[in-house]
Structure 1
């Protein structure tokens, strides 16, 4: 509670209100961040299928290009799927791989093989003039913020309006239709205004 007490000027009642507000606004970020995560993995999955085939995750050409860390991520996902007794298919693999896996595929080292000349095909709604580096940087920002929220850390000192704008702009780059659907259902802007 130290962070909240300090922010509340050591007023215990206000500190508790800030703590609860922090939890509520973090919860409200779930819808837009989840939409980004699912949209990003689906976009990249479709792109990988176009390059390496339906089961890209087991293709030697992809695994060699991706490198040992990504291959290890895939092995962990496959083990988890087997342990659950689920069907080993692309849908399960895509859903089981972490947000970090998908974000990592936007790193510069994958540019020639994955994205060279194909970025705007894979992300047709990416704003004009935006690059793979811009997309990777935005995904990293959203992933870092997501991890902070998902690990129940304080976000009371963050500029949450800027974070929300960053998430929603990224969602628009991934799928503008989904962004339009999420916006009226998202409670983040209203909760930001209710900060104690």
Structure 2
């Protein structure tokens, strides 16, 4: 049965697990299952990061450009081509679905990659001057926009690997979890305290086949 499963999942895709499992198909299957379980477990804290961070950035944009910042010409002129295309695509999608074109729909519709991109250096003086600490009051004094951009980008990279069912089992799982929880704490310490007991990543990290 194991060979049939491997054929179904793709021999080529399964090669990473077979190699890590010493070409033992049973261990390779166990690693595959463990990898899937890790991805599922990471979903809870990554969701908190994504939603929390986009709300913080929305707060900063509203403070700079007004509640409907996404409509403002001054804001749109700042955007690089990719982010401008993302913003326009979300508006079209909302319109096709017959939903109200309001900020809450825009915020929810934009990807995590969009929000991480808004932390890029190109937006530093126009958006983040005076707004970084106001929007993230719990950000440690040792951190800045650049370090936040790097850490959020690393989490977005992990999120995308999980979303595309890529292997993550070779990563330092506990380090990834620590970085995610730290970012949640920077956004809201109470949320970090609340969500930690609901996260299974540390437990699963100890169960590597």
TM-score, structure 1 length as denominator?
0.97
Match of 1:53 among 66, 73, 95: 66
Q: Distance in 2 between matches of 1:5 and 1:161?
A: 23
Are 2:37 and 1:24 equivalent residues in the alignment? yes
Note the residue ranges of structure 1 that are not aligned, 5 or more in a row.
none
Whole-Å Cα distance in 1 between the matches of residues 80 and 18 of structure 2?
46
In the alignment, which residue of structure 2 is the partner of 1:6? 19
Determine the C-alpha separation between the residues in 1 that align with 2:142 and 2:35: 36
User: What is residue 165 of structure 2 aligned with on the other side?
Assistant: 152
Q: 8 Å contact 2:60–2:128 — kept in the other structure? A: no
Aligned residue for 1:153, secondary structure, equals: coil
Counterpart contact for 1:78–1:93, Cα < 8 Å: yes
Rg: which structure is higher? 2
Q: CA RMSD in A?
A: 0.9
- Residues 144-183 of structure 1 mapped to structure 2, 5 A cutoff: 144-183=157-196
Distance 1:67-1:3 versus aligned 2 partners, 3 A rule: closer
Match of 1:37 among 41, 45, 50: 50
Runs of 4+ in 1 over 6 A off after TM superposition: none
Matched, 1:110 2:123: yes
TM-score, structure 2 normalization = 0.91
